Each structure stands twice: as structure tokens, then as C-alpha cells.
Structure 1
């Protein structure tokens, strides 16, 4: 018998999807205003038990007690304050879910379990328990009556959980999570008003929304502020101790952060950049690295690039000799 994940991928193929090695779904390009995306290329860690909030409070950068008020970003750091993962965190039926790239999950679960000790906490890979879908439209509320009014708020529908995400330009967005056994029926129901679109297009929307990510290629490369986690309200400086807290707090209280993640594009015809690739300043000195990459509609690339701010102010930042075309982030930097 096939696993739920395999069954879901098989279903997507019947809906016209082509899947790459990373499990990302590609559909024929669509000009429809309302789009539906498969996000199962991301995984989920489920943390449950009576001590789960207290346990995660000592591990992650945000105030886990506030999850009851809405979803939140969280960093998971080493003792040196370097990010092992960036989680989008939310609760469903008293279980805390941590969403991040599949490739990181086995090592993250192993590491988190090392610190459970006698706490009443269960940590599981829930990637096959729930299916994640993305919804986007410039008038999303007109398609979904249950859409929350503000970002990171959630609503329960008759068959799943809907979380409003930050807008990407004029696109309103939401994350929908549903039991894997019900996912195919839900996809077909959404498809009556939303056109299936490629996961890569969703990645471009994430970048335009200024949302970073940590991958295997970039783990332990960034202090949280370097990828704007403070600007995304993903760090709580009043919650108390957690792993790496001293470094994160010192970076905050010593003054202006010298390295930030910025929004940029590369022009049509550029070779494919990758997260973790170095970027260089006008003197060809290394100035930072790429954080997140996705193709753009003009056959170029959307990028989030972490770099030294003084290097950007001094001249062009380049990837393989090609200047990055910087754009304004959709949120202010502290």
C-alpha cells in the first residue's frame, strides 16, 4: 500500500502535475486570477503533550505562549545563535506544527528529541498527516468567505484549517491544511474556482512577500536578524532564555544590524542561482549569499539576498558578475 504522501503525489499527477526530484509540482502556466498551489514539498513537525509549550519556549526564538493568538515565525538556533531552521508555527487541535523544508526534518526531530528529557512531549514527523495548499488572488476574500482579516490569523472550515498569510504585492494569500485522507476531494473542490499553478510560482510570491527560508545549504549561516526574522515578528526579546538567546539578544541590543536580507531580481537569461550562492561587492569581495530563489515571469529570477549593508551602499552587489536589481521590501527593517 502506498503512503499518504505517495498517494497525494499520484493524485496530483492525475490533475496534470509534473513533479521534480524535490516533490515540487509544475502545472501548465495559467493567467487566471485565483490560483491553487501544492505546498506538500514542505514538511511538518508535530509537537504535542502537556509540556509542549514549555518545551518549545526554551528552544525557539518567539513566544510560544502567543500561538493561541495566531500563527508565528520561529527560529531554531544553535548555542552560537546560528539558525538551524526557520519554522512557520501554528496550532491545530492542541498540536503545535512547525513547517519547514522536508530535507531538514529528520535532523531537526533528532535534535529536538535530545532535549525532551523527562518532559511530557511527543515530537513526530507529521508531513504525511496533513496536506498543505496555497491559495492566492487579488480578491481572495471574494472566493473564501472564511478568510481571516489579518495575516497569521486562522479559521476552521468544515474540513480544514485556513491561515491568512502576508500579501505578496497585490496578491492576497492563505495557507490551507487538511487531513491527507480528505486532500484530493478538497483540491478538486478548490479547482472549481482556483486554477492549479506551479509551486515555483508560489516561491516567487513568498520572496516578493520578503519571506526568507533556511535550507540544508544555508543552515548555521545566519543569525536570525540577518534574514529579517525580527522584522517578521519572529523574535520575542522579552520571553526569557532559549538556545542561542544570548547571541540573538546581543545582536539586537548592541545597535544597528550590519547584515540584512534584501529583495532583488536578476535579469532574463541569467543562469540558475541557488540558495547559498555567494554574492560579491563592486571590488569582487564576498558580500553575502542568496537566501531564497524562484523564477520570475520574465524568465529571470526573484531573489532574497543577505548582504553587508555597507557593501550595498558602496556599489552594485553581483551574482556571478551580474548586478542584482534591488527592490523595496514589503516591510520596514528595524
Structure 2
């Protein structure tokens, strides 16, 4: 049976992509939706993301021993970026983590939900912790733009005071950056919230719009296409607060720490733009003259840019970035133009 939330989205014209990615649009081409995100306040069903709940008296210690950040320091009204890594230090999933009372909410790409639920469950053993999929119970709605506070107020909700902070209650608001929030609500209340946000001036938009905002904020999201490809620092994860170097061991910790302290990092993630008619794809190889026929990096995320072409996050060899001749798909493919990130990459 279709949930009332998905039924509501269907009734207002949402179109879901095939393949189980959860990506959604509202009938316009994706570029029209990213243009809306650049020019006003939007409301987005975050169906391309999914959330696991970790509950039980050992939940904090359990996650602390598995994730890259210091879960034990996550306060009741805080939020964190986190990663779960392979023993070789490669990111298997990226997470936005926040508290729901004593429980921990772990949001990741929807196409990784089933695999990560199973994988994390293998570590439970005798720990007093339960992992559950919140999809049947909760909906995530994104708000972005200058009128976010007004839209929240129309629904009787409060804007958290700063980025990476969250409210508590039956409906939670998680502020992911200065101009974006996620509203996490019971399924039965999601449609009513959507109507209130729209009545306050937030314009419906789809996954491409939210992904474009992630890209311009320099926030990577690991998907099936990029799983097990990158060490955390390659994705600037320590620069956005997703890695603690003071906590104890976790899978891949030795590799992450060695990368940090021995100065062996040769790749970094950069923001770029490609003026190409053919859409690039996450996981696609990049090439540069200094590496010849060998790949010099990969695309992490991509979305249509409001003014034409495509914006993307790309992990690239530092030498190739400095030469500024990086191309998509082959040594003679379309060139990408690097843009400044909102934070400093050294």
C-alpha cells in the first residue's frame, strides 16, 4: 500500500525516477528546478535520502566505534556529518546524524539503505542497540532559500539557531547550512506541512535542485556509483566537520589518520562546471594530460546548472587540478572549469 505521503506527492504531480533511487521531479526539466533553487525559496521531498534509527542504551557507543566522527560528543540539539568506511579507509556511506531524544538518526543515500542496514547490523552482536528503517514512519522535506524561516513559521516550527543544529519534538528541524533545513515529520503530517510551506511561498522542486545546492555547498553524498572509492579527506570530509582525529579506533581509522598526518594526500574534491550537452554521471572517470590515458579522478555528484551546463563535485589529482586541463570521460572529452568552494581547500 502506498504511504499517504507518496500518494500526496503523486497527486500534486511528482514524478519518480525508475531504478529505486528515490529521485523526484515536478514535471519541469531539472534545469528549471535548479533555477528555482538559485532564485527563491523551494520545498523539496527528500525521497532520494533515507534514514536509519539507532536506538537502545548502547547506541551511542555502538556508532562511536563505527563512524568517523565523535558520536559521543553529539549534543541533543546538534547534527554531524559522518562516514562509515571499509578497513582500507574508503567511504562506504556518508551520513547526516542527529539526535531524536536518546535515539540517533542516520541519514544516507536511499540507494544504500538496504545494504548499510544489513552491514551495520552485522556489528551489533551482543550490543543493546536496534537499527530500524524509518521509511514507513517518517518523511523528510527540504526547505531552501531566503524565506525558510517564514515557511517554518507558517507551520508553527522554529528555525534552529545555526548550521548543523536541530530541534527536538514530534517534528524535527535540522539546519544543514545557513539557508537550508530538513523537516523530519511523521508520515501522517507530511502532506499538511507541505501545503503550509507552499502557502507561505515555497515553490515545489525536485531532487536535482537539492543536489545542486549540495554541490555548491561542497557537501558530498556517497551513492552506489561512488561507494568504496574515496578516503574521507579526498572528499574534504574533515573540512566540513565529518572526521574526528581525537577519538578512538573505527573501521579504516588507521588509513584516515595516516593520510592526515603523513601528508600523502594526492587527491581532493573540487567544485567544477562543464558546458556540455550530454549530462556527466556520478562515478564517471576524469582525465588530464599529466596522466595520459589513465584516470586522474572521478565525478562525485552532478546536477544541471541554472544557467546551462552542469555543476559537479569532482575528486581530482592535485597536479591535474593545478594544470586546469581536466576532461570528462576520455582524454579528449569535454573540459571542466573549476570554481571556488565555500570553504578553503589546501
RMSD of aligned alpha carbons: 1.7
Residue ranges of structure 1 left out of the alignment (5+ in a row): none
The SS at the match of 1:191 is: helix
Alignment partner, residue 57 of structure 1: 64
Kindly tell me: are residues 25 and 183 of structure 1, through their superposed partners in 2, closer, same or farther at Cα, counting changes over 3 Å?
same
Alignment partner, residue 148 of structure 1: 160
How far has the Cα of 1:270 moved from its partner? 2.6
Aligned equivalents of 2:172, 2:288: Cα separation in 1 = 44
Which residue, out of 282, 295, 319, partners 2:304?
295
Alignment partner, residue 93 of structure 1: 101
- Cα contact 2:324–2:337 (8 A) shared by 1: no
Which residue, out of 319, 322, 343, partners 1:313?
322
Is 2:185 the partner of 1:178? yes
Aligned equivalents of 1:141, 1:256: Cα separation in 2 = 43
Alignment partner, residue 197 of structure 2: 190
The SS at the match of 1:262 is: strand
- Cα contact 2:93–2:223 (8 A) shared by 1: yes
Alignment partner, residue 334 of structure 2: 322
Superposed structure 1 runs of 4+ greater than 3 Å apart = 28-32, 141-145
Name the TM-score, length of structure 2 as normaliser.
0.89
Aligned equivalents of 1:304, 1:296: Cα separation in 2 = 12
How far has the Cα of 1:3 moved from its partner? 4.4
Alignment partner, residue 23 of structure 1: 22
Which residue, out of 41, 45, 52, partners 2:48?
41
How far has the Cα of 1:256 moved from its partner? 5.8
Name the TM-score, length of structure 1 as normaliser.
0.92
The SS at the match of 1:147 is: coil
The SS at the match of 1:177 is: strand
Which residue, out of 81, 84, 87, partners 1:76?
84
Is 2:28 the partner of 1:14? no
The SS at the match of 1:213 is: coil
How far has the Cα of 1:144 moved from its partner? 3.5
Cα deviations across residues 157-203 of structure 1 (Å, max 9, x unaligned)?
6x511111224xxxx11111101121111111111011111221111
Alignment partner, residue 133 of structure 2: 125
How far has the Cα of 1:111 moved from its partner? 1.2
How far has the Cα of 1:66 moved from its partner? 1.9
Moved more, 15-24 or 196-205: 15-24
Aligned equivalents of 2:159, 2:264: Cα separation in 1 = 37
Cα deviations across residues 197-220 of structure 1 (Å, max 9, x unaligned)?
122111101100001111112111
Aligned equivalents of 1:121, 1:99: Cα separation in 2 = 17
